[in-house]
Structure 1
Amino acid sequence: MDRMLFLAMTGAKHVAWQQATTAHNLANVNTNGYKADQVAFRALPVVGEGTPTRTYVVDNTVGHDLSQGSLQQTGNPTDFALASAGFFAVQAPGGQEAYTRDGGFVVDANGLMRTRSGLPILGDGGPITVPANSAIEIGQDGTVIATPQTGQDRVPQIAGQIKLVNPGAREVYKGEDGLFRLSAGGAAPADPNVRLVGGALEASNVNAVDSLVQMIAHGRQFDLNMKLMQTADQNEQRATQILSMNG
């Protein structure tokens, strides 16, 4: 009885964790550049004398879905998206290099290019700074071209090049802040094969319909485990009554 109760309790707990992950994905269905978290169950052997062949099933985060989200044409010159696999580099709040696909930029009062969440956009030499009062154009290779809009000299000039990387899905992990980092630490090398497209944003790759179906399935699995717990409790009560009657 105790074993059945424990198995049902463990199952309910891990299904609830899966439900939380699915709910988090669904909450980010409209977040630009968001990559869905993926979870799965895996079997773990029970360590202990007398039960060497038994296994329990636990929840396990297996990674993230890095498939391309749909590109939405905005026509806004401050929007950009990645048209291939990979990321562009930003400076995380702690100062280290991190990666994202959430394109689009603003220029702060100091001329620093930042994402709309406020993170500095990195080139090979560090954060990219553009001259004041300049129109910004970004090439497919990440080259940032600044054209002054005031003064006599309005010749376009290269202000920098956004660092584009493609370390591979197994080489990165996603932090709680939504940014990707190298699993081994350090910084990824630039990859000339990663391409940008201007005037567009990449939508989340979360499929809302699939996520809703998963939530329903998780809810049913949770209910099933709760019923097993109730059954185990009822069986234990009946067994106790029978033992009491038999003295």
Structure 2
Amino acid sequence: MDRSLYIAMSGAKQTLLAQAANANNLANSQTVAFKSDLQQFRSMPVFGPGYPTRVYAMTERPGTDLTPGVIQTTGRNLDVAIKGDGWIAVQGRNGQEAYTRAGDFRLTTTGLLQTGTGLPVLGNDGPIAIPPADKLEIGRDGTISIIPLGDNAATLVEVDRIRLVKPPLDKLEKLNNGELHLKKGEPPLKPDASVTLVQGALEGSNVNTIDALVQVIELARNFELQVKAMQTTDENSAAAAKLMKMA
């Protein structure tokens, strides 16, 4: 009895974890360039002293869906989208280089170029800082040019160039804070001139809301099944104890 109860209990717990991951995907269906997490269930033996006669259900994130989202035109000069393969290098919260396709840039009061989530965008020599300007343009190759404040329209000055890279997708991993980093031991990436940008556009989330909603229903039914299995196991245990008393 304890085996079936343990399996059902662990199954219910892992179903709730999978539901949380799926709910996170669904909540980010409108987040710029969000990449959905994948989940899968499998059985895992309980190892310890002696032979592993017990198993438990386990949910895990085998990876992240890195397929691009749909590009939408915004017309905003600080919005950029990557056309095709490639990533924008930013400074992660841990100070290390991270990668994103979210090009919803903004300028701080000190002129620092950041993503919509507040991560500094990296250029040739670190985080990009832009002086006050009447106009700002971002070229297809990531070059940032401005017309300095007070200068005439013919004065176009190149400030910096956004660091664009193209790492192999199997070398990237998504951390718990949602940032994409190179896996440990991988060499630093060099800028890739083949990565191009589209100014005045943003990449949308790659979450399929219909599939996510279907998963919500499937996981809810699975949780109900596990709870029912625990109730059945408890009833069988009570019936077996009653029969032993009669004997």
* TM value normalised by structure 2: 0.92
SS of 1:63's partner is coil
Partner residue of 1:214? 215
Give the whole-Å Cα distance in 1 for the aligned partners of 2:116 and 2:212.
27
Judge which range, 146-155 or 187-196, deviates more: 146-155
User: What are the Cα deviations for residues 92-141 of structure 1, in whole angstroms up to 9, with x where unaligned?
Assistant: 23322111111122222332222233222101311112231241111111
Structure 2 unaligned spans of 5+: none
Tell me which residue corresponds to 1:165. 165
Per-residue CA distance 1:183-202 (angstroms, 9 max, x = gap): 11674222222221111011
Listed one character per residue, the Cα deviations across residues 133-184 of structure 1 (whole Å, up to 9, x for unaligned) are 2411111111111122413585212111111112122211122332211111
Q: Provide the rounded CA distance (Å) in 2 between the counterparts of 1:70 and 1:153.
A: 34
After alignment, is 147-156 or 90-99 more displaced? Answer: 147-156
Report which stretch shifted further, 115-124 or 5-14. 115-124
Q: Which amino acid in the other structure matches residue 5 of structure 2?
A: L
- Aligned residue pair count: 245
Q: How far apart are residue 208 of structure 1 and its match?
A: 0.8
Match of 1:102 in 2: 102
Aligned to 1:69: 69
TM-score normalised by structure 1 residue count: 0.92
The residue number in structure 1 matching 2:120 is: 120
In structure 1, the partner of 2:9 is: 9
- Distance in 2 (CA, whole Å) between partners of 1:141 and 1:99 is 17
Whether the 8 Å CA contact 2:137–2:145 is kept in 1: the answer is yes
Amino acid at match of 1:30: Q
Task: Letter of the 2:232 partner, please give it.
Answer: T
Aligned-partner Cα distance in 1 for 2:211–2:171: 27
Answer whether contact 1:148 1:154 (CA < 8 A) is retained: no
| Within-5 A mapping of 1:44-193 | 44-47=44-47, 49-51=50-52, 55-151=55-151, 154-184=154-184, 187-193=188-194
* SS of 2:66 mapped into structure 1: coil
Q: CA deviation at 1:78?
A: 1.3
Identity %: 42
Task: State the secondary structure of the residue aligned to 2:62.
Answer: strand
| Shift, 1:55, TM fit | 5.0
Partner secondary structure for residue 17 of structure 2:
helix
Aligned equivalents of 2:215, 2:132: Cα separation in 1: 49
C-alpha contact (below 8 Å) 1:107/1:113 kept by paired residues: yes
User: Does the CA contact (< 8 Å) of 2:147 and 2:153 recur in 1?
Assistant: no
Is the 1:86–1:168 contact (alpha carbons within 8 Å) kept by the matching residues of 2? no
Query: Does the 8 A contact of 2:73 with 2:202 survive in 1?
Result: yes
1:86–1:166: 8 Å Cα contact kept in structure 2?
A: yes
SS at 1:25 equivalent: helix
Shift, 1:233, TM fit: 0.3
Give the CA deviation at 1:22.
Answer: 0.4
> What root-mean-square deviation, in Å, do the aligned CA atoms of Structure 1 and Structure 2 show?
1.9
Q: Which stretches in structure 1 are left out of the alignment for 5+ residues? A: none
Secondary structure of the 1:98 match is strand
Q: CA deviation at 1:46?
A: 4.0
Shifted more, 41-50 versus 8-17: the winner is: 41-50
**Aligned equivalents of 2:244, 2:102: Cα separation in 1:** 65
Query: In structure 2, the residue corresponding to 1:151 is in which secondary structure?
Result: coil
Q: Residue 222 of structure 1 aligns to which amino acid in structure 2?
A: F
Asked whether the 8 Å contact 1:42–1:57 carries over to 2, the reply is yes
Match of residue 18 from structure 1: 18
What SS class does the counterpart of residue 135 from structure 1 fall into?
strand
